[in-house]
Amino acid sequence: MNNHSQNPCSAPATLQHSGIQTPSHTPPAATPLQLAGFLLLAVLATGGWTTATDSKPGTQPDAQTYPAAAAGATPALDLNAFSTVGQLIPGLAEKRVVFVGEQHNRFDHHLIQLEIIRRLHEQHPQLQLAIGMEAFQQPFQQYLDDFIAGIITEQEMLRATEYYHRWRMDYRLYAPILRYAREHGLPVVALNLPVELTRKVGRVGLAGLTPEERAGLPAGIDRSDAAYEQRVREVFELHPNDKEQPFEHFLEVQLLWDEGMAERAVSFLQQHPEHMLVILAGAGHIAYGSAIPQRLTRRLPADTSIILNGWQGVIEPGLADFLLLPAERTLPPAGKMGMFLDAQDDGIEIAACFEDSPCSAAGIKAGDRLTAIDAAPVHNRADVPLAMWDKLPGDTVTVSIVRKRWPFPAKTLTYELTLK
């Protein structure tokens, strides 16, 4: 299930920004994945595969307390039977839809997604491959099309899709996938629903939508899966919302996400019957097949496969077709200005400069309002990462600020910062 509340893009009003660098080349392909250690640890850590009964307090466990039948029922893994991602590709190439899960902030998960896409495209050139992404919202499809076609730049695409306003994850996580798609002309399908709709459903529920808003809902929202609802409830119980949001609204948001992304994927497949679609979405949207996958096949019968990148819950039959555990990899360091930023109604205020930071060295003060970075206007918090996402430590940026000097008029100042 998505880790966010009503909105996968939600973030606090106060933020610290650090500029970041996207490599100009595709990162090295991920290495084959060995699962043995992970699966054994999962069995030991979760207890999900054992059925023993706790002994009585003050007693020592014995054979009667823990009957042999429990051990006999414990699933066992053949550690000599593991395959690699490369060995999965021929079978995946026969599917119409392949779902590859992600933890949104895990760079290694996205590298594995890219590796699967790359191998499918290069080893099976007869496939007409397309990529569906949760990270982009449906109303902005045209800008993704323009980016893939080379009509607009990466920076223009990010601004036009309102990426940092709507998704807010570090774009470098997804950049290698988008760049590979552009280089090879692979369509990218924006799967997610507009955040305005999901946020409102989170507040007032589906019943609180206007007739015009209801007309834009996916057709046929299926509530019949009790196991799906229970998994959503478990996430809700862990959710830090102090239960101000009714569970019914939380459930409706999840249903809306999953039905909406499934419907959009089906629409693309119906319009492009020759294409295979690789769907990249949060693990909770594909695990057990009950979220996007079964809602897609309900609309369009198709041969599918589900791949999970890691899993922190119980490992059990039906979870997925394949479970991977890539070695953790992190993004390279980002260039930082050393500012603590506070979003205000009239713009972005610098709440503080960190000690020994480029911000403090330049003489920028708390209360200054940030108005531009390298001549790009800063009106809201999304404008800051948009201007900084490709910056490295050692790069220089020019920032403009407005300083209040009551009772005198405010003054515009410009500084050059060498990022750390």
> Can you give the pLDDT at residue 56?
54
| Euclidean distance between CA atoms 327 and 117, whole angstroms | 18
Q: Where are the CATH 3.40.50.11550 domain residues in the chain?
A: 81-324
The residue-averaged pLDDT of 388-410 equals 92
Q: Is the pLDDT of residue 9 over 50?
A: no
Q: Is the pLDDT of residue 91 over 70?
A: yes
The residue-averaged pLDDT of 61-81 equals 66
> Can you give the pLDDT at residue 71?
56
Residue 208 corresponds to which tokens in the numbers above? 């609180």
> Can you give the pLDDT at residue 312?
82
With cut-offs at 50, 70 and 90, classify the pLDDT of residue 22: very low
Report the alpha-carbon angle 381-382-388, nearest 5: 100
Q: Is the pLDDT of residue 130 over 50?
A: yes
With cut-offs at 50, 70 and 90, classify the pLDDT of residue 39: very low
Q: What percent of the chain has pLDDT over 70?
A: 82
* Buried/exposed 28-67: b ≥16 CB within 10 Å, e otherwise: eebeebebeebbeebbeeeeebeeeeeeeeeeeeeeeebe
Residue 54 corresponds to which tokens in the numbers above? 């706790």
> Can you give the pLDDT at residue 115?
97
**Cα end-to-end span (Å), the chain:** 36
pLDDT in tens, 275-324: 999 999 999 999 999 999 999 999 999 999 999 998 888 888 899 999 99
| Euclidean distance between CA atoms 192 and 276, whole angstroms | 19
Task: Check: CB of residue 326 under 8 Å from CB of residue 30.
Answer: yes
Residue 361 corresponds to which tokens in the numbers above? 């060295």
288 Rama sector, left if φ>0, alpha if ψ -120 to 50, beta otherwise: left
> Can you give the pLDDT at residue 17?
37
The superfamily CATH assigns to domain 336-418 is PDZ domain (2.30.42.10)
Q: Is the pLDDT of residue 118 over 90?
A: yes
The residue-averaged pLDDT of 82-105 equals 95
The residue-averaged pLDDT of 390-398 equals 96
pLDDT in tens, 148-164: 999 999 999 999 999 99
CA distances from 306 to 127, 268, 280 (A): 19, 19, 11
With cut-offs at 50, 70 and 90, classify the pLDDT of residue 408: confident
Instruction: Provide the greatest CA pair distance for the chain.
Output: 85
Q: Is the pLDDT of residue 8 over 80?
A: no
> Can you give the pLDDT at residue 62?
63
The residue-averaged pLDDT of 402-420 equals 92
Task: Check: CB of residue 147 under 8 Å from CB of residue 179.
Answer: no
Q: Is the pLDDT of residue 20 over 80?
A: no
Which residue in 198, 195, 256 sits closest to 222, CA to CA?
256
Architecture of domain 81-324: 3-Layer(aba) Sandwich (3.40)
Q: Is the pLDDT of residue 35 over 90?
A: no
> Can you give the pLDDT at residue 72?
63
The residue-averaged pLDDT of 201-227 equals 95
Q: Where are the CATH 2.30.42.10 domain residues in the chain?
A: 336-418
> Can you give the pLDDT at residue 275?
98
Q: What is the mean pLDDT of the chain?
A: 85
> Can you give the pLDDT at residue 57?
56
| Euclidean distance between CA atoms 367 and 384, whole angstroms | 17
| Euclidean distance between CA atoms 197 and 309, whole angstroms | 29
Q: Is the pLDDT of residue 48 over 50?
A: no
| Euclidean distance between CA atoms 205 and 268, whole angstroms | 28
pLDDT in tens, 231-274: 999 999 987 765 678 999 999 999 999 999 999 999 999 999 99
With cut-offs at 50, 70 and 90, classify the pLDDT of residue 345: confident
Task: Check: CB of residue 22 under 8 Å from CB of residue 390.
Answer: yes
